[in-house]
Structures are given as structure tokens and as C-alpha cells.
Structure 1
Amino acid sequence: MPVPVWSVDPRTGQRRERAATEADAAAVDRAVNAAHAASAALADRATRATFLRAAAALLEEEAEAVVAVADAETALGPGRLTGELARTAYQLRSFADVVDEGEYLDVTIDHAAPELIPPRPDLRRYKLPLGVVAVYSASNFPLAFSVPGGDTASALAAGCPVVVKAHPDHPATSELCAALLRRAAERGGLPAGVLGLVHGFDAGVALIDHPLVRAAGFTGSVRGGRALYDAAAARPHPIPFYGELGSLNPVVITEAAARERAETIGEGLAGSMTLGVGQFCVKPGLVLAPATEAGDRVLASLTEAVGATPPGVLLDARMRDAFVAGVRKRAALPEVRAGLPGEGAAESGPRSPDGSVRAGVLTVPAAYLAAEGPYDLLLEECFGPVTVVARYAREEEIGAVLRRLPGNLTATAQLSAAECGADETDGAQAAEEPDEARRRAARLLEQLTPLAGRLLVNGWPTGVAVAPAQHHGGPYPATTSTTTSVGTRAIDRWLRPVVYQDAPPALLPPELRPHNPLGLPRRVDGRFEPRA
């Protein structure tokens, strides 16, 4: 008997509507085979670019309906979701531009050089799409990291059809967005099967095991992502699995920075850790702050700002229960102090206590995190609006704690003007005559660099710009690879290089023919040739 998938309002815990039906193995097989059959239709670059732009336009045309449904299922609010929809449309158009430009194909030609020792044959390389991509939607971004999100957009741009496993927190949003993408595909002459959608836990397992699936993208928990990662590796023919799993996103506040702008740092940290009710993968979850009068001012400012933040609704009751239990377990550790509770908000007006939580701040001496023990719990992500402030008495404690951290998406240094070299105008002179403040700052960045894929100075990690230079990834468990899931380089995940050696020109694909009939940017004999 078909198992219904219900859309649930997290504000009340009540069912809204029956949004879909869980997919059994046969339904998954149909979706994957339909996607595989659509591969040939996606081969044309102009068709793909038109499809991506049409998808962006349809999302914008239906923005009111999309935002309304997404808000009803996630409680993220119309303002936040309107911005997320704009980001999602921008991503789609950005990848359309990437497809048009063609640099992503990485066309590289080395002509034959028989005079070399050993002789070099004629070599011509470019990249081809892998095939059907499985995308596992994120709970906290129902648009930008879900059905029409970055994994889907980048895979389609690469020429890979997609089957999305919808997140159970927003099934109606997923259905609506999938329908819009299929409509955009059909307008451009593509089969609707280019974008498949399945629901249900068992469907997700069947999807990663399907022999026609050639790669997978995931955003979610360490536990769920690791299970899928292991399943992808255990297949008879293993496939690449690009997972974003979890991140603590450490922040280090130097004593000089705390003296210089304690209140500003505290307020900025509060805004970042409570943004989206703390449900961002780049939420700052561990802060190293000095155990000094200046550090006290930072903590006072942080606590005041967090205390003024109204309770918020988490994405579902399961996450709310895990958050409350996680905060309580951490607060129960000896020497941990709870500046604010970070638990349920019973007096939250019309909101249900089942879905509403207060933001919280926990403090602990940094020395307790420097060695293995029960305080290791504080070095694990707690999904929701809470952060741990570890107070260091000596600079050496910063390094001791950082050396114990797993991989992260981001790492942030809050530095003073002197540590940033703000009084230096000549970069060459500053490099030759560094003062002690600059040397300390440089050492701190050296310590942070191995920990994360994005390093911030005097900023906050929440907010990931969609740009060619962006990198959203990091050492495990932040991600399972060294690639990015945000920015135009995300397309690289779904491509594989192929080289033709001494192939006659008439047998070469158009991308590699001698006279560059497609006008693609190329690197020929080591020299870059821009797009014709």
C-alpha cells in the first residue's frame, strides 16, 4: 500500500496536506531510468543554458506561491525565504553563464612534439558529464540546497540529469519546485525526466545503490551523510559522493580585538549564531575568547544581544528535541556555565512549545578542551541557536584547542587594526618589516588554515556568496571531498576528463578540433586562448 508523505507545519506540529507518496524501489528505478534516457537531450550546451534560465524565471514568476509553501513547512519566514529564492535563481543563471562560456570544459591541447625526449604525442583533453546524479536535499535550505538548489543546478549545467531525494521537512515545496523545473525543461524541448523527485528513507537508500546513478550530492547530518558515503563506496562500482556533513566553524577573538571593539564583536557574533534560529551549516559554534576584562565585555555584549533575540521555531520537532537535549547535556558538564538557557520557550505566545526554542550561550575554560575527555562533547556541532565560548588564559591554549578540532567549513579570526596591518600602506614593506602584532595574527591564520575551506578575518561565516572564487567545503567531516558545493566550480564535481591521443581531426569531438569551431576558451601548448 502506498505510504503517504505529509506536509507538516513546524509552528503547530499539525499536518497541512498530503504532499506525495513514498517511492518504492520500482518508482526509484523509473525515475532513474527516465533521467538516464534524458542524458542525450542534455548534451547540447545552448539547450542546457536556456533550460537553466527558464527555471530561474519560473521560480521568480511563482515566487509568492513558492515562498508561502516553504514558509508553511519550515517556519523560516517570508523575508528569509524571499532572499533564498533570489539566491537560487541567481545560482541557476550563473551556471547558465558558465555553460555558455565553456571554460568549465577545461579544453587543453598539447601538439605532438617528436623532438622531445621522450617524444610527446598529440594530446587533446576536455571534460564530459558523469551521468545521472542523485541529490539529497537539505532541511535548512528548502530552495538553495534542495530541489532547485546548487547541487541540481551545477549537475544540470554539467549535462547530468538529476534525481532528487526530497527532504521530509518540506515535501510540498519540493513537489512545487520540481514541477516548475520540469515545466522549464519541457519549454526548452527537454524531457520532463531530466529532473526526477522521490520521497522516503527507503527511496534514498535505493537511489544511492542504483547502477545508473553515477554520483551523489548531499547536505545534512554527519550520521546520515556518512551512511550514504559508505553505501556509495560499497557498491560493486563505487561512485563519488560529495557530502556536506557538519561543521563547528570556530571563531578566535584576540585580546587586542576584544580591547578594541568588544561590543561590536559580541553583537556580530550574536547575530550570526542566531541567524535562521541557528540552523545554518556555517553557524559559529565554538568561540575562543580571552579570559580578561576585554573578554568579559565581549561576553556581556554577546549575552545581552542573544537574550534580546526572540524565541524561534526549529524545522521540526525532532530537531527541537535534539537541540534541547544537546544543550542540557553540555550545560551539565562541570565548569560549564549557561549564560542563557538555549532550551524550550514555553511562553512563546501563539507558537507551540514543541517547535520554539531560546538561543543560548555556554562558557567554559579553554583549558578543559585542550585534552581528550568528557568536554569533547563541546567540540561537536549542536544544530540550533547555541554557541560555546571557551575562555583562554594564555595564547598557547588557542593552539591547543585548535589542534583538537575536526575539519570545518569556515574558521574566523577577529583581529585588531594593528594585527591586520591597517597602519601599513605598502604591502611589500609590511612583509619585510612585520611587527609583533602582525606576526601573531599571521601565526593564528596559519593555525586556522588547515581546519577549514573558508577563512574569514573580522567577518562572520553566515552568508555564503555565490561567486567564482567561493569555496564551500572543508576537511572531513565538514565535507567528504575537497570540492565546493557553492560557486561556479561546483560544476567540476559532475565531470570527468577524457584525453584523445593522436586522433585524426575528423574523428575528434567538435570541442577538440584544430580550428576550434565552437570558439571555446582553450589552453594550447601551455598558452591560454580566450573564447573566440
Structure 2
Amino acid sequence: MTHVEPLLLAGRWQPSLSLQGSFRAADPTTGEHIGPAFPVSGAADIETAVAAASAVAAELAAAPVSRVAAFLEAYADALDADADTLVALAHAETALPAPTRLRGNELPRTTGQLRQAAVAVRSFSWTQPVIDTAAGLRSHLAPLSKPVLVFGPNNFPFAFNAIAGSDFASAIAARNPVIAKAHPLHPATSQRMAQLAHTALVQAGLPAAAVQLLYQFDNPLGLALAGDARLGAIGFTGSRGGGLALKAAADAAGVPFYAELSSVNPVFMLPGVLAERGEALAQEFFASCTLGSGQFCTNPGVVVVPHGADGDAFVAAATSHFAAAAPMVLFSQGGLDHLADGVATLRGAGAQLLAGGAAGEGGYRYVPTLLSVDAEAFIAQPQALQTEAFGPVSLLVRVADTEAMAQVAAAFEGNLTGTLYRAADGSDDAAWQRIAPALRARVGRLINSKMPTGVAVSAAQNHGGPFPSTGHPGFTSVGMPGAIHRFAALHSYDAVPDPLLPVELRDRNPGGVQRNIDGVGTTADVGSAA
């Protein structure tokens, strides 16, 4: 009988209580199965996880902030110390480059997020205390006192992993239990991270059931779980179709659903910048589109380019880069199939194939692909021509002039990012000002003269945007303390005596917490001169 790995359930590692089958990871370069078998959970596992998390929610909400911060810091330290094992596991399951992407970028980003969350916990910066002395009212952001369910994506085995990424760090920082739904493409990586998390959690003196891990369950159970009113919120990163189905179930139960769904991240090449450095921009665009085999949520999926000699030269240079590129490894057969369907949809809507457009041999490979369409066709069929092709694929939209660019900008749906490349001499500034207002309303992050694939972990970051890029335009999934706000409740206290208030709302402020008192930001005590 095949051994099946245990679950982190109800505070301990244990066999599935309702095993519905098992699965294994695959090596994307060959398509062959690797590693041990992991459980597909049934209803008993899910019920146990929700009940256990609910049972410790109040205890975690009341836990000293020092313990929560200590857990986040200890977990980050443990991940750094185990880097060799983690990078090897993630590389085997995803084929992402080990030294540059996994060790050099993504793991440090992950541990950095955890440590930033710890800083926000210790400083109370995420709670935004407000005191109105005249009305006798005080408010702050506080724990939901319910579990948070986190769905991890396929493309970031560390930084967005359900058991370690930004959603996880944010939910824990707000002192909510987390039920992590690992992505089935990297189960061994998730398991190892969960082992480190569990050890750090117990050592910090927090309830052992505050962090749980489920690997896989079928779609009906997932919908039932998303619609469980015992949940305080859901964090989701993944496909638009799957996310919207889960969102509908959550909405029916009144469970807040914070989702990153899809984005084509439009890039506008203005005329002056193409004259200035068009050939270099073609290389920059190709490098961004194919980074990580194009499997980034901020991949430049649509690039708007003017007609004319400079625009034609940019297109010719970009086409040559794509045409010369070897097939690139994707994460899974499902991803390969979805990408092929996306390219077929774009071509069916009138996009012309300039390079690529086919699968490669061996494992899960696809040739970098470039397509082109005129602005008139794009504006006539904006939905089909904004189909997200998640991989090394991009669509060029050719436009006549600045006015046509503005019309194309107005045809975009909500996106995570929008970029305008402008000339250094200021010759594109008038065009920038004409196009930017329409683009600004449709993106979470407006970028000047650089590709969108970099996402800095910063308090000023917005990794979010209007629907359908995310489920809510007012929140970010990256950057502390802002990301924590998704998993918090606004608590107001009316005429509550000082000793009974949360510590950051009391008259005295020995910790120097930044507060808004009668409309003034200050670290002073109530009644003291600022």
C-alpha cells in the first residue's frame, strides 16, 4: 500500500481522517512524477481544520503581540537556515532557477515579508488607532477572531505560498488562525515550510492549531469550504475562473474574499522613446515577457506600439528575439493546455502570429510567442483580445497616434499594473498626460518607463487593482502594514473606561504608538501637548 504523507491538522501532524486519494508532484522538465504521495482530503479533514482553527481564534486574538512577532521572526530565521533544502525541493517541483530566482530573490523576499509583518505587529502600525476625545470614541483595526483560509498559487512556491507568503504573514500578523491550502504543484516544498512553521509556532507559545495545512480536495468541497460562515476571510491567488467560483460561494456566506485573478498589464511605448532607444526596449520587453517562462502575474501581456518607422523597427526587433528563443518550461500540463487555449482565443479574435505559437518537446514546454493586432480590432473585441495567456506570450496592439492610444487605454479592464514608456527629453510628456488618466483608473500601480515584472515589498506598494485583476480595488496583497488590513476588523469603543480598552487606545502611550488623536497624528498621551 502506498504511503501517503500526513496533514498538519488540529495542532499536529496526522494521517488524513477522510482520505479521498493521493497525488504526487511532477518534474516540469520531464513530466515524470517525483517525491512522495500526498493526501486528497475529504469532508472530515476540512471540518476538523475549520473547527480546530475556530476553537483557537479567540486565544490567538488575545495573544501578546510579542509572541506573534516572535513567531514571525523565528519562522523567517528557520526558513533562511533551511535554504538549501527548500531551494532544492522548490527547484525540483517548479523548475524555477535555483540560484537566481529561488535562493537569490524569492526566499529572501519571503523571509523579508515575515519580518516586516513582525515589525508591524510590534509597532501596532497596522491597527491605525483613532481617538476622538470630544465624542468619547476610540477605534482601531483588530483581529477577525475567525480563521483565514489562504489558497496559494502555482507560480511562487515561497513568496505567495499559502503557508509562508504575504497572505499568510498578513493573516497571522492580524492574530487570525490560518488554514493553508497548498498548491498541488509544489506539495513537498509546502510540507517542509509547514514543518518549520509548526515548530516555530509552538516554541513561541501560540496555539498549535493556529496554523494548519491541507494539500488538495475536490472542487465541491472547496466551494463548500469557501462558503463556510465560520471563516473570517479568504485570500486567493490563482485563475479567474476558479477564483470567481470560490468568490460566489464566499459572497453567499458573507465571507470577505480577497483575490488576485488575472492581469495583462498593458505597456504603452510612446513615439519619442521608441526613436530614442527602440532596439534596447525590444530586448527589455522580451526579457520581461519571458522571465520565469512568463509565469508572473505582472507579465507584460499587451504592448501598445505606434505605427511608423520607429514602431515598425521595435516590432521587428522584438519579433526576432521571440523567434530565436528556445521553448520554455511551464509548471504543468494544465498550464500548458491553458496557455495554448489562450493563444488560440487571441488568434480567433484576429491577432496575427508573428513568432512562436506552439508547444515544445519534452515535459511542459511552450515556444515564446508574439502576436499583433490593430487598435481598431482591439477596441472592437476588447474582452477576447485581453485573454490572459499565462506564459511567455504577449500581444502587440498597433495604433495610429496618441488619440488612438488613449482609446485603447480606455478599453482595458482592471489590471494590476499599467506602464507608460516616455522619452528622457520630455517629448512624450504631452502624450503621457493624455493617456495616463484613462490608464490610471484601470490599474493598481502606474509605472513610468520600466517593465512591470518587479514587485518591491514596500509599505508604498500596491499589488492589487480594479476587478478583475483583484476582487477589491482598495487592498494590496504585498507590502506591510497595508496587506494586513484585509484580514482585520474595524472595532470602535464608545465611552469604554480606559483600563478596559486595548492597549493602543488607552490614554497613556508608553510604547510610542503612532495614533490619530482629535485629527492630529501623534505619539503623545491623550491630553498631553503634542
TM-score in terms of structure 2 length: 0.90
- Conservation of the 8 A alpha-carbon contact between 2:410 and 2:439: no
Is the deviation greater in 496-505 or in 90-99?
Answer: 496-505
- Conservation of the 8 A alpha-carbon contact between 1:128 and 1:497: yes
- Conservation of the 8 A alpha-carbon contact between 1:290 and 1:391: yes
Q: Which runs of 5+ in 1 are unaligned?
A: 113-120, 347-351, 421-436
Where do 1:214-293 residues align within 5 Å?
A: 214-235=232-253, 238-293=254-309
- SS at 2:46's partner residue? helix
Question: Cα–Cα, structure 1 residues 326 and 103, in superposed 2: closer, same or farther, change >3 Å?
Answer: closer
Tell me, in whole angstroms, the C-alpha distance in 2 between the residues paired with 1:242 and 1:528.
29
Cα-to-partner distance string for 1:201-247 (whole Å, 9 max, x where unaligned): 33533431333211000001110110111110112xx0110000000
Tell me, in whole angstroms, the C-alpha distance in 2 between the residues paired with 1:268 and 1:201.
41
- Aligned counterpart for 2:154 among listed residues 136, 139, 158: 139
Where do 1:494-509 residues align within 5 Å?
A: 494-509=487-502
Question: Cα–Cα, structure 1 residues 226 and 333, in superposed 2: closer, same or farther, change >3 Å?
Answer: closer
Is the deviation greater in 463-472 or in 24-33?
Answer: 24-33
Tell me, in whole angstroms, the C-alpha distance in 2 between the residues paired with 1:452 and 1:491.
21
Where do 1:364-443 residues align within 5 Å?
A: 364-372=373-381, 376-419=383-426, 437-443=428-434
- SS at 1:370's partner residue? helix
Tell me, in whole angstroms, the C-alpha distance in 2 between the residues paired with 1:252 and 1:189.
52
Cα-to-partner distance string for 1:47-89 (whole Å, 9 max, x where unaligned): 1111001111111111111111111111112131112111100
1:51 aligned residue: 71
Where do 1:73-222 residues align within 5 Å?
A: 73-78=93-98, 79-82=100-103, 83-112=105-134, 121-130=135-144, 131-146=146-161, 147-202=163-218, 203-222=221-240
Is the deviation greater in 455-464 or in 323-332?
Answer: 323-332
Cα-to-partner distance string for 1:133-183 (whole Å, 9 max, x where unaligned): 000011111111112000000110111110011111111111111111111
1:291 to partner: Cα distance: 1.1
1:522 aligned residue: 515
- SS at 1:455's partner residue? strand
1:392 to partner: Cα distance: 0.8
**How much identity, in percent, do the aligned residues show?**
39
- Conservation of the 8 A alpha-carbon contact between 1:136 and 1:165: yes
RMSD between aligned residues: 1.7
- Aligned counterpart for 2:357 among listed residues 324, 327, 342: 342
1:302 to partner: Cα distance: 1.5
Cα-to-partner distance string for 1:383-439 (whole Å, 9 max, x where unaligned): 11110011112322212222221100000001112337xxxxxxxxxxxxxxxx433
1:312 aligned residue: 328
Q: Does 1:513 align with 2:506?
A: yes
- Conservation of the 8 A alpha-carbon contact between 1:28 and 1:206: no
Aligned partner of 1:166: which letter? Answer: A
Tell me, in whole angstroms, the C-alpha distance in 1 between the residues paired with 2:171 and 2:372.
43
Q: Which runs of 5+ in 2 are unaligned?
A: 1-18, 526-530
Tell me, in whole angstroms, the C-alpha distance in 2 between the residues paired with 1:514 and 1:381.
52
1:118 aligned residue: none
1:531 to partner: Cα distance: 7.7
1:64 aligned residue: 84
Tell me, in whole angstroms, the C-alpha distance in 1 between the residues paired with 2:130 and 2:49.
35
- Conservation of the 8 A alpha-carbon contact between 1:49 and 1:99: yes
2:464 aligned residue: 473
Cα-to-partner distance string for 1:115-149 (whole Å, 9 max, x where unaligned): xxxxxx21111121112100001111111111200
1:521 to partner: Cα distance: 1.8
Cα-to-partner distance string for 1:340-365 (whole Å, 9 max, x where unaligned): 1132123xxxxx1x411110110122
1:423 aligned residue: none
